[in-house]
Structure 1
């Protein structure tokens, strides 16, 4: 056998293996893309309210939505989110990253339309302010933060529409209001993932006369969660992580894209004395339109009275 034949004999199996790997990768990508519209409603119960608060009502329903990352024309997402109004939530909390397209504000308002008629609060993420950019996949997997694009999105128009419909902007504000029999004290910060937060603006414990105290932040950064927990807030609400987005079986996150640990990248957990809920989110960056073992979701938190 001449030298050329020997080389060819070694290369052909490698080429075949590369072909199989490429087909497998293409199959995984297609599956991951198909998961984008397989929305799920998560349902959790959290006993937080003082006995007697609900006056015979079974629960206070809080609907947590986050990370819509809306792109113009995503009709399936619009219909699914809009239908969440049938859950009859007492309060809607939106923790940001609504946009992934400069033309998407009308579609965000279509999706949230009926929910905007209910009591609500919001904080924004950096993908409300600035357009997404193509990330370096290796940096992402290594947990390295990438700089925003600083290409402005029309977030002011979206914010104005939210406020016009009666939702509270909790960004660097302490907000107090009552829904039914439940007195709420809430506070929020701007997106801490890119150090837009300024906690001293809301520093201090919530009103002790409140029945329910809520902390809002887009990214669940421990340095900010610690401040909320120390001040005595009962429940924090955040998004940003997409639940890990590209997970191992069992929805086990590979990265969190923030400072929170992988065990608490999604769902309800303890953060010291405070409960924290991290949403899987309802969308993805337009540049990474895939989900693996981590479907998009919203969460209904059924807040009940404690047994004390």
Structure 2
């Protein structure tokens, strides 16, 4: 009995310590995950992409806001890719403005996650083990129009929710396309081929980016078929709570393979393989304020000419 009580106490102490770490420390250990990808035409200049995702911003989250605000000077990106779930509270836009204002004037693109439309709600975290989460019966709406007005009109970023666009960067043309949140079934893949055909009739791009919030297989497959040279996604939070040093997430909240729920990998469909970056994101629901074995992050990916050797470095 004494041995059993000792063991039980030890397990309890470990559990309390892990919870204290995840709630009180790790969720504030914001990290930059860096990679290089040799995907540009030979002779092209390197292009630095800042991949932001899943900020789930609440107005009181000043440490997160300050850390994001420093990225413009620290990383000096040429392009920002925002893969959604920017808001985590009905008043989250105030905090988001404070965080993103230094990025004004840097070209960018964005898509929506569900928390750009509806506020988070309390959930039983164990239900994530039964499959992707479902929308609550009476969700609290967010001011999506105000968010889009800020991202598109103030920051000058391109809205890629079931849409396409084009950018001229460093003397290169980049074509971009994306969908709204596939986790909620808001993606409309059928509209993209016609839009892309029209866009490509105006000229040839050095690179094409496919952008989605939720990396469902059907979306990634379609993006590869549509000619994306790189794929960008968020949504998974990298699992948010992981077994330390395990290459796989415990859950991904979508149907992507668990070993691709965070970081840089590749996606193959119909014999074509392209790089895929899934950001573990910066935030969490205000009702589940924890990160364990999965630091909050942004990605900085330097795109280089194909003559360069592909390398990656996590920092």
- The answer to whether the aligner puts 1:75 opposite 2:71 as a matched pair is no
Residues 137-173 of structure 1: per-residue CA shift (max 9 Å, x gap)? 2211233422245210122111101111211101111
Instruction: Select 2:220's aligned residue among 225, 229, 252.
Output: 225
**Change in 2 beyond 3 A, CA 1:298/1:227:** same
Give the match for residue 158 of structure 1: 147
Give the match for residue 53 of structure 2: 66
SS at match of 1:101: coil
Give the match for residue 163 of structure 2: 173
The whole-number CA distance in structure 2 between the counterparts of 1:163 and 1:143 is 34
The whole-number CA distance in structure 1 between the counterparts of 2:97 and 2:173 is 27
SS at match of 2:193: coil
The whole-number CA distance in structure 2 between the counterparts of 1:108 and 1:46 is 29
- The answer to whether the aligner puts 1:46 opposite 2:37 as a matched pair is yes
The whole-number CA distance in structure 2 between the counterparts of 1:262 and 1:245 is 12
User: How do 1:131-210 and structure 2 match up within 5 A?
Assistant: 131-148=119-136, 150-165=139-154, 166-203=156-193, 207=200, 209-210=204-205
CA contact (8 A) 2:232 2:277 kept: yes
The whole-number CA distance in structure 2 between the counterparts of 1:143 and 1:25 is 25
CA contact (8 A) 2:44 2:304 kept: no
Give the TM-score normalised by structure 2: 0.88
The whole-number CA distance in structure 2 between the counterparts of 1:132 and 1:262 is 24
Give the match for residue 111 of structure 1: 99
Shift of 1:222: 0.6
Q: Structure 2: where are the runs of 5+ without partners?
A: 309-315
The whole-number CA distance in structure 2 between the counterparts of 1:201 and 1:181 is 29
User: How do 1:275-294 and structure 2 match up within 5 A?
Assistant: 275-294=275-294
CA contact (8 A) 1:46 1:303 kept: yes
Q: Structure 1: where are the runs of 5+ without partners?
A: 1-9
Give the match for residue 311 of structure 2: none
Give the match for residue 259 of structure 1: 255
Shift of 1:123: 0.4
CA contact (8 A) 2:167 2:173 kept: yes
CA contact (8 A) 1:232 1:274 kept: no
CA contact (8 A) 1:46 1:302 kept: yes
The whole-number CA distance in structure 2 between the counterparts of 1:155 and 1:16 is 53
The whole-number CA distance in structure 1 between the counterparts of 2:216 and 2:168 is 28
Residues 78-137 of structure 1: per-residue CA shift (max 9 Å, x gap)? 111011101111100110001111111011011011113210110010011101122222
CA contact (8 A) 1:135 1:146 kept: no
- The answer to whether the aligner puts 1:250 opposite 2:220 as a matched pair is no
Residues 233-282 of structure 1: per-residue CA shift (max 9 Å, x gap)? 10111100111110011153111111100111111111012211100100
The whole-number CA distance in structure 2 between the counterparts of 1:203 and 1:135 is 37
Shift of 1:25: 2.3
